[in-house]
Structure 1
Amino acid sequence: MACIVTLAAPCPAWAADLLDSLYGRWTTGQPAPFTMTWTRERDGFAVRWTVPGGREADIHFTPTRRPGVFAGRTNQGWSMFGRDKPVNPLVEGTLYWARSTPDAVYVYSLSVDDRGAFVLDRYACRRAGQGRLDVALQRRLPDGKTEEMTMQLAKAGP
Protein backbone atom coordinates (compact mmCIF):
# COMPACT_ATOMS: atom_id res chain seq x y z
CA MET A 1 0.00 0.00 0.00
CA ALA A 2 1.42 3.36 -0.95
CA CYS A 3 0.98 5.90 1.82
CA ILE A 4 2.57 8.90 0.11
CA VAL A 5 0.70 12.06 -0.89
CA THR A 6 1.93 15.51 -1.66
CA LEU A 7 3.54 17.00 1.44
CA ALA A 8 2.95 13.80 3.41
CA ALA A 9 5.55 11.63 5.05
CA PRO A 10 5.93 8.10 3.72
CA CYS A 11 4.12 5.49 5.73
CA PRO A 12 6.63 3.26 7.55
CA ALA A 13 6.73 -0.31 6.19
CA TRP A 14 5.32 -1.77 9.42
CA ALA A 15 2.37 0.64 9.24
CA ALA A 16 1.59 -0.34 5.64
CA ASP A 17 1.78 -4.05 6.56
CA LEU A 18 -0.49 -3.54 9.58
CA LEU A 19 -3.03 -1.59 7.53
CA ASP A 20 -2.97 -4.27 4.83
CA SER A 21 -3.90 -6.85 7.47
CA LEU A 22 -6.91 -4.79 8.61
CA TYR A 23 -8.65 -4.38 5.25
CA GLY A 24 -12.03 -6.09 5.06
CA ARG A 25 -15.25 -6.38 7.03
CA TRP A 26 -15.06 -7.45 10.69
CA THR A 27 -17.94 -8.21 13.06
CA THR A 28 -18.70 -9.48 16.55
CA GLY A 29 -21.72 -11.39 15.24
CA GLN A 30 -25.09 -11.64 16.98
CA PRO A 31 -27.12 -10.63 19.00
CA ALA A 32 -26.01 -6.95 18.82
CA PRO A 33 -23.28 -6.92 16.21
CA PHE A 34 -20.49 -4.38 16.13
CA THR A 35 -19.11 -4.12 12.61
CA MET A 36 -15.99 -2.34 11.42
CA THR A 37 -15.03 -2.12 7.74
CA TRP A 38 -11.53 -1.08 6.63
CA THR A 39 -10.91 -0.15 2.99
CA ARG A 40 -7.88 0.94 1.04
CA GLU A 41 -7.98 4.34 -0.63
CA ARG A 42 -5.66 5.87 -3.19
CA ASP A 43 -3.81 7.99 -0.64
CA GLY A 44 -4.76 6.38 2.67
CA PHE A 45 -7.56 4.27 4.13
CA ALA A 46 -11.17 4.51 5.31
CA VAL A 47 -12.95 3.00 8.30
CA ARG A 48 -16.71 2.62 8.76
CA TRP A 49 -18.25 1.55 12.07
CA THR A 50 -21.15 2.28 14.41
CA VAL A 51 -20.16 4.46 17.32
CA PRO A 52 -21.77 4.09 20.77
CA GLY A 53 -25.23 5.59 20.52
CA GLY A 54 -25.92 4.01 17.13
CA ARG A 55 -24.60 6.70 14.74
CA GLU A 56 -22.51 5.41 11.84
CA ALA A 57 -19.04 6.88 11.29
CA ASP A 58 -17.50 6.75 7.80
CA ILE A 59 -14.08 8.35 8.03
CA HIS A 60 -11.40 8.70 5.37
CA PHE A 61 -7.81 8.98 6.63
CA THR A 62 -4.91 10.55 4.76
CA PRO A 63 -1.25 10.59 5.84
CA THR A 64 0.06 13.84 7.31
CA ARG A 65 3.59 15.21 7.40
CA ARG A 66 4.13 13.24 10.60
CA PRO A 67 4.95 9.55 10.01
CA GLY A 68 2.21 7.28 11.31
CA VAL A 69 -0.31 10.11 11.85
CA PHE A 70 -3.42 10.35 9.67
CA ALA A 71 -5.92 13.21 9.27
CA GLY A 72 -9.57 12.22 9.28
CA ARG A 73 -12.17 13.53 6.85
CA THR A 74 -15.94 13.14 6.88
CA ASN A 75 -18.62 14.59 4.65
CA GLN A 76 -18.49 17.63 7.00
CA GLY A 77 -14.89 18.39 6.02
CA TRP A 78 -11.34 17.74 7.14
CA SER A 79 -10.13 17.50 10.67
CA MET A 80 -8.06 20.41 11.96
CA PHE A 81 -5.04 18.81 10.27
CA GLY A 82 -6.42 19.43 6.78
CA ARG A 83 -6.19 22.41 4.51
CA ASP A 84 -9.79 22.83 3.30
CA LYS A 85 -12.95 23.40 5.33
CA PRO A 86 -11.66 22.24 8.71
CA VAL A 87 -14.08 20.82 11.26
CA ASN A 88 -14.14 22.76 14.51
CA PRO A 89 -15.72 20.62 17.25
CA LEU A 90 -16.35 23.78 19.31
CA VAL A 91 -18.80 24.91 16.63
CA GLU A 92 -20.11 21.60 15.27
CA GLY A 93 -18.92 18.25 14.04
CA THR A 94 -16.49 15.66 15.30
CA LEU A 95 -12.72 15.78 14.94
CA TYR A 96 -11.15 12.47 13.77
CA TRP A 97 -7.54 11.38 13.46
CA ALA A 98 -5.59 8.14 13.58
CA ARG A 99 -2.09 6.98 14.37
CA SER A 100 -0.29 3.74 13.80
CA THR A 101 2.25 1.90 15.90
CA PRO A 102 4.00 -1.37 15.05
CA ASP A 103 1.19 -3.41 16.66
CA ALA A 104 -2.00 -1.30 16.41
CA VAL A 105 -3.92 1.44 14.65
CA TYR A 106 -5.57 3.92 16.99
CA VAL A 107 -8.61 5.84 15.75
CA TYR A 108 -9.62 8.91 17.77
CA SER A 109 -12.73 11.08 17.80
CA LEU A 110 -13.36 14.26 19.76
CA SER A 111 -16.76 15.91 20.04
CA VAL A 112 -18.00 18.83 22.15
CA ASP A 113 -21.66 19.20 23.09
CA ASP A 114 -23.66 22.44 23.32
CA ARG A 115 -22.72 22.84 27.01
CA GLY A 116 -18.99 22.64 26.27
CA ALA A 117 -18.53 19.09 27.58
CA PHE A 118 -16.33 16.74 25.55
CA VAL A 119 -16.28 13.07 24.67
CA LEU A 120 -12.99 11.58 23.51
CA ASP A 121 -13.06 8.06 22.05
CA ARG A 122 -10.01 5.95 21.29
CA TYR A 123 -10.35 2.70 19.36
CA ALA A 124 -7.23 0.53 19.60
CA CYS A 125 -7.39 -1.96 16.70
CA ARG A 126 -5.00 -4.94 16.82
CA ARG A 127 -4.79 -8.10 14.74
CA ALA A 128 -5.11 -11.09 17.04
CA GLY A 129 -4.20 -14.07 14.91
CA GLN A 130 -5.75 -15.41 11.75
CA GLY A 131 -9.20 -14.00 11.11
CA ARG A 132 -9.45 -12.02 14.38
CA LEU A 133 -9.36 -8.34 15.21
CA ASP A 134 -9.37 -7.04 18.78
CA VAL A 135 -10.88 -3.57 19.27
CA ALA A 136 -10.59 -1.81 22.63
CA LEU A 137 -12.74 1.29 23.02
CA GLN A 138 -11.75 3.78 25.68
CA ARG A 139 -14.20 6.67 26.14
CA ARG A 140 -13.19 9.65 28.27
CA LEU A 141 -16.13 11.59 29.63
CA PRO A 142 -16.34 15.21 30.82
CA ASP A 143 -16.70 14.18 34.48
CA GLY A 144 -13.23 12.59 34.35
CA LYS A 145 -14.53 9.04 34.20
CA THR A 146 -13.42 6.53 31.62
CA GLU A 147 -15.56 3.80 30.08
CA GLU A 148 -13.85 0.83 28.48
CA MET A 149 -15.09 -1.97 26.26
CA THR A 150 -13.18 -4.71 24.46
CA MET A 151 -14.54 -6.60 21.47
CA GLN A 152 -13.21 -9.53 19.48
CA LEU A 153 -14.22 -9.32 15.84
CA ALA A 154 -14.05 -12.06 13.22
CA LYS A 155 -13.35 -11.53 9.54
CA ALA A 156 -16.72 -11.43 7.76
CA GLY A 157 -15.69 -10.53 4.23
CA PRO A 158 -13.26 -8.73 1.98
Structure 2
Amino acid sequence: MKLSVVGLRALPFLFVFIFSSIAYAADVDRFAGTYTGNAEFISNDEKQRRDLSTTITPNKDGFTLSWTSVTHRKDGRIKEATYTIEFFPSPREGIYSSAMKVDIFGKRKPLNPLNGEPFVWARFRDDTFSTYSLFITEEGEYEMQEYHRTLTDGGLDLVFHRVRDSMLLREIKAFLAREG
Protein backbone atom coordinates (compact mmCIF):
# COMPACT_ATOMS: atom_id res chain seq x y z
CA MET A 1 0.00 0.00 0.00
CA LYS A 2 1.37 3.41 -0.99
CA LEU A 3 0.90 6.54 1.07
CA SER A 4 0.46 9.78 -0.79
CA VAL A 5 2.66 12.78 -0.07
CA VAL A 6 -0.33 14.45 1.59
CA GLY A 7 -0.86 11.33 3.74
CA LEU A 8 2.79 11.31 4.81
CA ARG A 9 2.63 14.99 5.73
CA ALA A 10 -0.43 14.36 7.88
CA LEU A 11 1.25 11.61 9.96
CA PRO A 12 3.14 13.95 12.34
CA PHE A 13 -0.09 15.85 13.06
CA LEU A 14 -1.90 12.58 13.75
CA PHE A 15 0.79 11.53 16.25
CA VAL A 16 0.69 14.93 17.96
CA PHE A 17 -3.11 14.70 18.24
CA ILE A 18 -3.01 11.15 19.66
CA PHE A 19 -0.24 11.83 22.17
CA SER A 20 -1.61 15.22 23.25
CA SER A 21 -4.99 13.56 23.88
CA ILE A 22 -3.23 11.03 26.12
CA ALA A 23 -1.45 13.88 27.96
CA TYR A 24 -4.76 15.72 28.41
CA ALA A 25 -6.35 12.60 29.92
CA ALA A 26 -3.42 12.26 32.35
CA ASP A 27 -4.02 15.84 33.57
CA VAL A 28 -7.69 15.23 34.19
CA ASP A 29 -7.20 11.80 35.78
CA ARG A 30 -4.97 13.24 38.52
CA PHE A 31 -7.80 15.55 39.62
CA ALA A 32 -10.74 13.16 39.08
CA GLY A 33 -13.00 12.70 42.07
CA THR A 34 -15.33 14.48 44.46
CA TYR A 35 -14.10 17.02 47.01
CA THR A 36 -15.97 18.77 49.85
CA GLY A 37 -15.18 21.48 52.38
CA ASN A 38 -16.26 24.86 53.69
CA ALA A 39 -15.02 28.43 53.88
CA GLU A 40 -15.65 31.48 56.05
CA PHE A 41 -15.17 34.98 54.67
CA ILE A 42 -16.41 38.55 55.05
CA SER A 43 -18.85 39.94 52.48
CA ASN A 44 -20.53 43.35 52.85
CA ASP A 45 -19.25 43.55 56.45
CA GLU A 46 -21.03 40.29 57.22
CA LYS A 47 -19.33 37.01 58.11
CA GLN A 48 -20.52 34.26 55.76
CA ARG A 49 -20.01 30.54 55.64
CA ARG A 50 -20.14 28.43 52.51
CA ASP A 51 -20.25 24.69 52.09
CA LEU A 52 -18.40 23.79 48.90
CA SER A 53 -18.17 20.69 46.73
CA THR A 54 -16.46 19.95 43.44
CA THR A 55 -16.67 16.87 41.21
CA ILE A 56 -14.31 16.32 38.28
CA THR A 57 -15.29 13.44 35.99
CA PRO A 58 -13.21 12.43 32.96
CA ASN A 59 -15.16 11.38 29.89
CA LYS A 60 -14.28 10.12 26.43
CA ASP A 61 -13.42 13.52 24.96
CA GLY A 62 -12.54 15.68 27.98
CA PHE A 63 -14.18 16.05 31.37
CA THR A 64 -17.19 17.37 33.25
CA LEU A 65 -16.80 19.79 36.14
CA SER A 66 -19.62 20.25 38.67
CA TRP A 67 -19.49 22.46 41.72
CA THR A 68 -21.94 23.54 44.38
CA SER A 69 -21.78 26.48 46.77
CA VAL A 70 -24.19 26.65 49.70
CA THR A 71 -24.17 30.05 51.45
CA HIS A 72 -25.39 30.22 55.05
CA ARG A 73 -26.54 33.74 55.89
CA LYS A 74 -26.52 35.24 59.37
CA ASP A 75 -30.34 35.50 59.38
CA GLY A 76 -30.66 31.75 58.73
CA ARG A 77 -31.37 31.93 54.99
CA ILE A 78 -29.56 29.47 52.74
CA LYS A 79 -28.66 30.04 49.10
CA GLU A 80 -27.51 27.12 46.96
CA ALA A 81 -26.03 27.29 43.47
CA THR A 82 -24.86 24.34 41.37
CA TYR A 83 -23.06 24.53 38.03
CA THR A 84 -22.05 21.78 35.61
CA ILE A 85 -19.86 22.38 32.56
CA GLU A 86 -18.39 20.02 29.99
CA PHE A 87 -14.87 20.74 28.74
CA PHE A 88 -13.07 19.48 25.64
CA PRO A 89 -9.39 19.77 24.67
CA SER A 90 -8.52 22.87 22.68
CA PRO A 91 -5.72 22.92 20.10
CA ARG A 92 -3.47 24.30 22.87
CA GLU A 93 -1.92 21.80 25.28
CA GLY A 94 -3.42 21.77 28.77
CA ILE A 95 -6.20 24.25 27.88
CA TYR A 96 -9.81 23.13 27.63
CA SER A 97 -12.75 24.85 25.97
CA SER A 98 -16.15 24.82 27.62
CA ALA A 99 -19.10 23.33 25.78
CA MET A 100 -22.14 24.95 27.34
CA LYS A 101 -24.34 25.39 24.27
CA VAL A 102 -25.34 23.31 21.24
CA ASP A 103 -25.46 25.01 17.83
CA ILE A 104 -27.99 24.20 15.10
CA PHE A 105 -25.71 21.44 13.80
CA GLY A 106 -25.51 19.70 17.18
CA LYS A 107 -21.94 20.83 17.85
CA ARG A 108 -21.18 21.83 21.45
CA LYS A 109 -19.51 25.22 21.85
CA PRO A 110 -18.76 27.96 24.41
CA LEU A 111 -21.21 30.71 25.32
CA ASN A 112 -20.80 34.25 23.92
CA PRO A 113 -19.77 36.96 26.43
CA LEU A 114 -20.99 39.69 24.06
CA ASN A 115 -24.51 38.31 24.61
CA GLY A 116 -24.16 38.65 28.39
CA GLU A 117 -23.16 34.99 28.76
CA PRO A 118 -19.95 33.80 30.47
CA PHE A 119 -17.04 32.60 28.35
CA VAL A 120 -15.48 29.73 30.30
CA TRP A 121 -12.25 27.81 29.85
CA ALA A 122 -9.99 25.61 31.97
CA ARG A 123 -6.32 24.79 32.17
CA PHE A 124 -4.01 22.38 33.93
CA ARG A 125 -0.59 23.61 35.01
CA ASP A 126 1.52 21.38 37.24
CA ASP A 127 -0.60 20.59 40.33
CA THR A 128 -3.18 23.32 39.71
CA PHE A 129 -6.42 23.03 37.77
CA SER A 130 -7.90 26.48 37.03
CA THR A 131 -11.21 27.56 35.54
CA TYR A 132 -11.91 31.06 34.29
CA SER A 133 -15.23 32.74 33.55
CA LEU A 134 -15.22 36.03 31.61
CA PHE A 135 -18.33 38.23 31.75
CA ILE A 136 -18.88 41.50 29.88
CA THR A 137 -21.12 43.81 31.90
CA GLU A 138 -23.90 46.02 30.51
CA GLU A 139 -21.44 48.94 30.78
CA GLY A 140 -18.86 47.08 28.66
CA GLU A 141 -16.54 46.35 31.58
CA TYR A 142 -15.24 42.88 32.28
CA GLU A 143 -15.60 40.62 35.25
CA MET A 144 -13.52 37.50 35.81
CA GLN A 145 -14.20 34.64 38.17
CA GLU A 146 -11.22 32.38 38.75
CA TYR A 147 -11.16 29.05 40.57
CA HIS A 148 -7.70 27.63 41.25
CA ARG A 149 -7.75 24.07 42.62
CA THR A 150 -4.33 22.79 43.69
CA LEU A 151 -3.71 19.14 44.55
CA THR A 152 -2.53 18.60 48.13
CA ASP A 153 -2.36 15.63 50.47
CA GLY A 154 -5.93 14.50 50.93
CA GLY A 155 -7.64 16.95 48.58
CA LEU A 156 -7.56 20.36 46.94
CA ASP A 157 -6.65 23.85 48.10
CA LEU A 158 -9.23 26.13 46.50
CA VAL A 159 -8.68 29.84 45.84
CA PHE A 160 -11.54 31.81 44.28
CA HIS A 161 -11.11 35.35 42.91
CA ARG A 162 -13.78 37.66 41.57
CA VAL A 163 -12.23 40.59 39.70
CA ARG A 164 -13.93 43.51 37.93
CA ASP A 165 -11.80 45.79 35.77
CA SER A 166 -8.57 44.77 37.60
CA MET A 167 -10.11 45.28 41.05
CA LEU A 168 -10.34 42.29 43.41
CA LEU A 169 -13.93 42.16 44.70
CA ARG A 170 -13.83 38.84 46.55
CA GLU A 171 -11.37 36.17 47.56
CA ILE A 172 -12.35 32.88 49.14
CA LYS A 173 -9.90 30.20 50.26
CA ALA A 174 -10.80 26.69 51.38
CA PHE A 175 -9.52 23.15 51.68
CA LEU A 176 -11.68 20.56 49.95
CA ALA A 177 -11.12 16.99 51.16
CA ARG A 178 -11.18 14.17 48.62
CA GLU A 179 -14.08 11.82 49.25
CA GLY A 180 -13.63 8.06 49.08
Q: TM-score range by the shorter chain?
A: 0.7 to 0.9
Name the structure 2 match of 1:62.
88
Q: Corresponding residue for 2:35? A: 26
1:12–1:67: 8 Å Cα contact kept in structure 2? no
Greater share of strand: 2
Gap runs ≥5 in structure 2: 1-13, 40-48, 72-78
Q: Is the 1:9–1:63 Cα contact (8 Å) retained in structure 2?
A: no
Deviating above 4 A after TM superposition, structure 1's stretches of 4 or more consecutive aligned residues are 51-54, 83-86
| CA displacement at 1:37 relative to structure 2 | 0.8
Instruction: Report the number of matched residues.
Output: 144
In structure 2, relative to structure 1, the CA distance for the partners of 1:77 and 1:87 (3 Å cut) is farther
Q: Percent identity?
A: 27
2:164 is aligned to 141
Distance, in Å, in 2 between the alignment partners of 1:56 and 1:115 is: 27
- 49 and 12 in structure 1: CA distance in 2 versus 1, 3 angstrom threshold: same
TM-score by length of 1: 0.75
Task: Report the TM-score when normalising by structure 2.
Answer: 0.67
Uncovered stretches (5+) of structure 1, i.e. residues with no partner: none
- Give the aligned CA root-mean-square deviation in angstroms: 2.9
Greater share of residues in helix: 2
> Using CA pairs below 8 Å that are at least 6 residues apart, which structure has the higher relative contact order?
1
Deviation at 1:110, TM superposition (A): 0.9
Q: Is contact 2:97–2:110 with CA below 8 Å preserved after alignment? A: no
Give the Cα–Cα distance (whole angstroms) in 2 for the partners of residues 16 and 149 of structure 1.
Answer: 29
